[in-house]
C-alpha cells in the first residue's frame, strides 16, 4: 500500500527519530520535481500556527498564496500529507487550486455553501486511490461492484493489468492499521500495457500528469469517485487468499440501486 511513497521515504532510512520539518525540507530540496503552487510559490513545510482570522492565513489559501504547508510534529496525518506533496506534486497543486478558488467563491457568498467540486476534491485529497489499468473489462467490473469476479476470478489479470496507487493522506494513515471496511475513493486512469514495464519513478510521473489533467478538467465530482474496497486487491490482506473472503457483503457491497420517480 505504501509503495508510491517508497522513493521519497528512502530519506528516512538513517533517522533515529520522527522526521521533522527540516527533514521534509531536505527531501523537497532533493526532489526531482519541486512542488509548486499554481500561484508560483515553492511549497515548503512550516509549523502549524494558531487558528487564523484572515482568509489568506487559512490552511488552503495559505498554501496557494505563500506555499506554506502547515505541518504538526509527530503527526502521521500531516507527515503523509507532506510525502504525498513530494510524490504527486502536480496533482496536489491542482487540488490546492481547486480548494482556493472554491473558498474564494464561498468567502463572498453569505450562504457559505460548499460546491460539489470542492467536496470531491476534499474526498479525494483525504481518501483517494488511483486505479490504473490497461484492461477496460477490469475497470468495468470495478465500476459495476463485481468484486468477486474482479479480485478472485480475474485475479491474475488484476495482478498483471491493474494497480492501485494510494493518494489520500488520510487513507495512508488508516493503512497503518488496515481493517475490513477500509475503502478508498477511486479515480480510474486508463493506460497502455507498457505502463507496467516502466520504473516506479516513471509510473508516478505519468500518474501525476494524467491526474492533474483530469482534476483540472472539472469533471471529477463525488458521484464519479468509485468506491474501492482496498483489502480486496490480491496480496493486500492475507485473508484474501481464500475465495470466501469476497463473500462478505458488508465490505464487498453490491452496486446501489437508484430508483427514479
Q: What is the pLDDT of residue 91?
A: 97
Quickly state the pLDDT bin for 259 (edges 50, 70, 90): very low
Question: Mean pLDDT over residues 211-232, rounded?
Answer: 87
Quickly state the pLDDT bin for 255 (edges 50, 70, 90): confident
Quickly state the pLDDT bin for 224 (edges 50, 70, 90): confident
- Indicate the pTM of the whole model: 0.92
Percent of the chain with pLDDT over 70: 94
Does the pLDDT of residue 251 top 50, yes or no?
yes
What's phi and psi for 128, nearest 5 deg? -75, 145
Reported as a single tens digit per residue, the pLDDT across 107-127 is 766 555 666 777 888 999 999
CB 215 within 8 A of CB 121: yes
Does the pLDDT of residue 95 top 80, yes or no?
yes
From the CB of residue 127, how many other CB atoms can be counted at a distance below 10 Å?
Answer: 23
Concatenated DSSP letters of 169-198: HHHHHHTTS--TT-EEEEEEEE--GGGGGS
Amino acid at each position: 500500500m505504501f509503495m508510491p511513497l517508497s522513493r521519497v521515504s528512502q530519506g528516512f532510512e538513517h533517522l533515529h527519530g520522527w522526521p521533522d520539518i527540516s527533514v521534509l525540507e531536505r527531501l523537497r530540496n532533493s526532489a526531482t520535481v519541486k512542488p509548486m503552487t499554481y500561484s508560483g510559490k515553492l511549497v515548503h513545510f512550516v509549523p502549524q500556527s494558531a487558528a487564523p482570522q484572515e482568509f489568506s492565513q487559512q490552511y488552503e489559501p495559505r498554501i496557494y498564496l505563500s506555499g506554506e504547508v502547515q505541518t504538526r510534529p509527530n503527526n502521521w496525518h500531516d507527515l503523509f500529507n507532506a510525502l504525498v506533496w513530494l510524490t504527486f506534486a502536480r496533482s496536489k497543486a491542482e487540488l490546492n487550486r481547486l480548494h482556493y478558488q472554491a473558498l474564494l467563491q464561498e468567502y463572498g457568498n453569505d450562504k457559505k455553501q460548499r460546491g460539489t467540486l470542492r467536496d470531491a476534491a476534499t474526498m479525494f485529497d483525504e481518501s483517494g486511490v488511483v486505479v490504473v489499468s490497461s484492461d477496460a473489462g477490469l475497470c468495468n467490473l470495478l465500476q459495476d461492484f463485481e468484486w468477486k469476479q474482479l479480485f478472485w476470478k480475474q485475479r491474475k489479470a488484476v495482478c498483471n493489468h491493474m494497480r492501485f496507487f494510494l493518494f489520500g493522506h488520510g487513507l495512508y494513515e488508516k493503512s497503518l492499521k488496515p481493517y475490513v471496511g477500509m475503502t478508498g475513493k477511486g479515480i480510474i486512469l486508463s493506460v497502455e500495457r507498457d505502463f507496467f514495464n516502466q520504473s516506479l519513478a516513471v509510473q508516478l510521473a505519468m500518474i501525476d500528469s494524467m491526474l492533474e489533467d483530469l482534476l483540472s478538467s472539472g469533471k471529477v465530482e463525488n458521484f464519479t469517485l468509485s468506491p474501492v474496497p482496498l483489502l480486496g486487491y490480491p496480496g493486500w490482506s492475507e485473508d484474501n487468499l481464500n475465495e470466501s473472503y469476497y463473500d462478505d457483503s458488508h465490505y464487498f457491497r453490491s452496486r446501489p440501486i437508484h430508483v427514479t420517480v
